[in-house]
Structure 1
Amino acid sequence: MDTAAKVDALMDGLRADLERLAAIPSVAFPGFPAEPVREAHDLLVGMLHDVGVERVERIDLPDTAPVIFGEIPPPSPDAPTVLLYSHYDVQPPGDEKLWLSPPFEPTPVEGGLRARGIADDKSNVIAHLGMLRAYEGRPPVGVKIVFEGQEEYGSPFDDYPPSDPERFACDAMVIADLGNLRPGTPTLTTGLRGASEVVVEVRTLQEPRHSGEFGGAAPDALLVLLNALSTLHDVHGDVAVAGLRREEWSGTTYTEDEFRALAGVRDGVPLIGSGSLGERLWSGPAITVIGLDAPSVEHAASAVVPYARAKLNLRFHPRQDAKEARGLLVDHLRALRPFGVPLTVTPGDTGPGYEASTGGPAYRAALTALREAWGEDASYVATGGSIPLVNGLARAAPDAEVLLFGAQDSMCNLHAPNERVLFSELRNTVVAMCAFVREYAAGFRPGAAS
């Protein structure tokens, strides 16, 4: 099969199906209607049947949208099985006034389409279907398909796969919920930082007191909290909590100009931290204050503040234990006594990071496939974001190689207004998936260690 030519012939149909899917507002957050999520589910079930997937099932778990599970048996007893993952739910659109076109009306942009969820993750759903279409439903490997319906909000499905390991047993899995560092640069993601949340709270007075009469001796809860928060970073902006793992980053990373543009850093404002961007973003910790309860400036009174609270988000090294990392932050805060005042520190949710092993037959096949699709060797990155299901799938199939690549790119505005996908990235991802299953099938040896 001339893979590139076959995929090129399929692109008009894949684009049309992507537009149909992206037009469905499948937001699985509380407060949004469930009907569009079910509509997207039903559309994809139909597409899977149309491409020749005879076994398509629905996994229903409490408090989550339905998960689509499909299976194509291996063409021979010694052929490997590949699990394909992506999700069909999307982020809420946010402030629609910030969009250049309605978020659920797929709109042409230069080289692609704009819509909410069109990159994250509906482009990757379509890329999986494109590979199956290129092989007319008979790829050279066994295939298991997992299309999740509530990834963006969080789902009990994250922890389900280890309870049903036979269903998810495979030799390799392609987690397509991310993509390239930049358009045109084939990229394998090899690590995911873990994430934890911690709330720190200060109560000092029964109620506000006049700042002229009491300020200077009455303990100001907001000053206490700000003093505590200031200890989390050193003078350079690097995390100062002892024990949080940080290592040099040896893979590819952004240029500073790219990162400043992506982050929207204002002119004249320096980046924080030291070391390479990869080290700051992927192989080292980050602590962000994501919420603060304190009097607003607009409604401020001349009074000593009796109560203040902050919510912290911690990102940590892919190989650091999640509870250990959260515990280090909690212990750091609990040991503080700003102006002699104790803090109330409450640990929140925590999720582990993930670091993929490299060098096995699936990994080698992926390197060949990405080179074939994009015409250059793949770059290696990590991501500060988390995909909790990866760990669940890895526990269900502990010997499977995990590959993370897809049709998104870092400049696609995922989770932001005016999200877009480029047809070049979608096309090359389909080519890469086709080449991957071909190369993996050819080089696979049953029972061989990866």
Structure 2
Amino acid sequence: MTDELARRIAELMPRAKADLAELVAIPSVADARQYPPEKCREAAEWVAAAFADAGLHDVHLEETPDGSHAVIGHRPPPPGAPTVLLYCHYDVQPPLDDAAWTSPPFELTERDGRWYGRGTADCKGNIVMHLTALRALGEDIPVGLKLVSEGSEEQGTGGLEAYVPPHAGELHADALLVCDTGNAAVGMPTATTSLRGLANVVVTVSALHGDMHSGMFGGPAPDALAALIRMLDSLRGPDGGTRIDGLDCDGAWSGVGYDEEQFRQDSGVLDGVRLTGSGSVADRLWARPAVTVLGIDCPPVVGSAAAIPATARARVSLRIPPGTEAHTAQEALIAHLKAAAPWGVRVEVQPESTGSPFRAATGGPAYGALDKAMQEVYGKPMAFLGQGGSIPLCNVFAQTYPEAEIILMGVEEPRCLIHAPNESVDPGEIEHMANVEALFLRHYANSAGT
């Protein structure tokens, strides 16, 4: 039966490619400043129609509190069977620099055995994975199903997070497949069990009433940009590791590690450039806070004048590991920046979004069923890894459904370059993970009933 299921999925891969091509061609960027919002609606309607065709009932769009639309559907369970929630999102990151793409970002392009285009992995590839698994099973779906596909995951406005608690019954399930992550590498079956949280701020430094001529006033007149640079530099120690007053920045990761040379390759570190911080790569990625300067507002080099900047501004992101509370971390970041301000410059720090870290419990029947499915498909046991990114929805799910098992998996792996130019997916991962999902549904139906 397993071989028969694998054969069906292999036969469905041309359709999976066609589906992904249609989805990628819809620029569903959840940012109305750059892209028309009706494209997100178009993608939502595509997803709804596809899942209805794959056998789900009453598939429809629900508006969430941030104005985005979630695709909701269900399929009732056979008598005595458990219910599984399938999660994905149809919105994508903007393409960033079009010139950095080797092929058009919103046109699925096959190259060197991979499929390229914005959203091929994050997360439209996971939508296609779900559809392929369901089509392979046909009417022989042994569990109940719930579907939620959201449209504002990438912009972080929390539409679905706000929607879930008052609609808890609509989405209730025994196991939740949050398919927005993936394997540690192609061919390495992986479940993500740890997610870092998030605390962002925007810091503005003011030193003068207005920009002043650097020849006439430079020297004694305080430079707001120079002050900001000093403040940002204080967030890191001499080795480049994050150092923020009031936060534990020396945690250790106890799970499967991340080879340093592999990390250098996956992250594109240039030859001769050292990694920042100390400890293992896994420690730094999954067990410690990590600060990043996302952007700076200051005079650009081209067109800049001989003037002392009166003001400067930066957006700072702080990723935090499980065990650290998001608002506490944000307050520590704000206090550190204010304390580091030199020369009495005026500092305003505006808090932005926060997201709590997440750690999954892995001892239940759903994880046992997933391990069995992954071993059958990949021929090796499932690994547990951390994830440096943040998915605030996982904590909402955990709080709303405390008895449910939450599994993070999917088609993404380091070579996908999600959020960057030239995002891609390995079609073999779509095929294999669709097989894993279909087998998981069968095994879970059996294990949950024992």
| TM tier, smaller | over 0.9
Counterpart residue identity of residue 27, structure 2: P
Match in the other structure for 1:81: 83
Equivalence for 2:268: 264
2:207–2:346 contact (8 Å) kept in structure 1: no
Q: Secondary structure at the match of 2:121?
A: helix
| Structure 1 partner of 2:220 | 217
Q: Tell me how far 1:384 sits from its aligned partner.
A: 1.7
More off after superposition, 103-112 vs 376-385: 103-112
Kindly indicate whether residue 24 of structure 2 is the aligned counterpart of residue 22 of structure 1: yes
- Distance in structure 1 (CA, Å) of the matches to 2:124 and 2:47: 10
Partner of 1:395: 399
Distance 2:26 2:269 in 1: 33
Deviation at 1:346, TM superposition (A): 2.6
Checking the alignment, whether the CA contact within 8 Å between 1:26 and 1:36 is kept in structure 2 is yes
Task: Indicate the RMSD between aligned Cα atoms, in angstroms.
Answer: 2.1
Q: Are residues 1:338 and 2:342 paired?
A: yes
Alpha-carbon offset, residue 37 of structure 1: 2.8
Q: What SS does structure 2 have at the residue aligned with 1:118?
A: coil
CA contact (8 A) 1:163 1:396 kept: no
Query: What count of residue pairs does the alignment treat as equivalent?
Result: 445
Counterpart in the other structure of 1:362? 366
Cα separation, 1, equivalents of 2:337 and 2:192: 33
Q: What residue in structure 1 maps to residue 185 of structure 2? A: 182
Alignment of 1:98-117 (within 5 A): 98-117=100-119
| Deviation at residue 100 of structure 1 after TM alignment | 2.2
In structure 2, distance between residues paired with 1:337 and 1:153: 30
Match of 1:5 in 2: 7
Answer whether contact 2:44 2:61 (CA < 8 A) is retained. Answer: no
Would the aligned equivalents of 2:188 and 2:378 in 1 still touch at CA under 8 Å?
Answer: yes
1:409 aligns with 2:417: no
Give the Cα separation in 2 of the matches to 1:137 and 1:38: 29
User: Which residue is equivalent to 2:45?
Assistant: 42
1:253-288 deviation line (CA, Å, top 9, x unaligned): 433333223333222221111111111112111111
1:392: Cα distance to partner? 2.4
Structural mapping, 1:373-384, within 5 Å: 373-384=377-388
Aligned to 1:152: 154
Code of the residue aligned with 1:322 in structure 2: it is: A
CA shift, 1:366, in A, is: 1.4
Cα distance in 2 for residues equivalent to 1:6 and 1:243: 55
In structure 1, distance between residues paired with 2:146 and 2:199: 31
SS of 1:47's equivalent in the other structure is helix
What is the deviation of 1:117? 1.0
Aligned counterparts of 1:96 and 1:303: Cα–Cα separation in 2 = 33
TM-score, normalised by the number of residues in structure 1: 0.92
In the aligned structure 2, how far is the partner of 1:97 from the partner of 1:278?
33
The gaps in structure 1 that reach 5 residues or longer are none
Report the secondary structure of 1:58's partner residue.
strand
How far apart, CA to CA, are the structure 1 residues paired with 2:301 and 2:18? Answer: 50
State how far apart, in whole Å, the 2-side matches of 1:202 and 1:39 are: 42
Counterpart pick for 1:201 among 201, 204, 210:
204
Whole-angstrom distance in 2 between the partners of 1:6 and 1:50: 17
Q: Give the CA deviation at 1:297.
A: 3.5
In structure 2, do the counterparts of structure 1 residues 29 and 253 end up closer, same or farther at CA, with 3 Å as the change threshold? Answer: farther
Match of 1:274 in 2: 278
Name the residue aligned to 1:327: 331
TM-score (norm 2): 0.92
8 Å CA contact 1:132, 1:138 repeated in 2: no
Q: Following the alignment from structure 1 to structure 2, what is the Cα–Cα distance between the partners of residues 417 and 91?
A: 10
Residue of structure 2 in register with 1:128 after alignment: 130
**Partner Cα distance (2:219, 2:356) in 1:** 44
Match of 1:313 among 308, 314, 317: 317
Which residue does 1:161 correspond to in 2? 164
Alignment deviations for residues 377-404 of structure 1 (CA, whole Å, 9 cap, x no partner): 1222222211222222222212111100
State percent identity of aligned pairs: 44
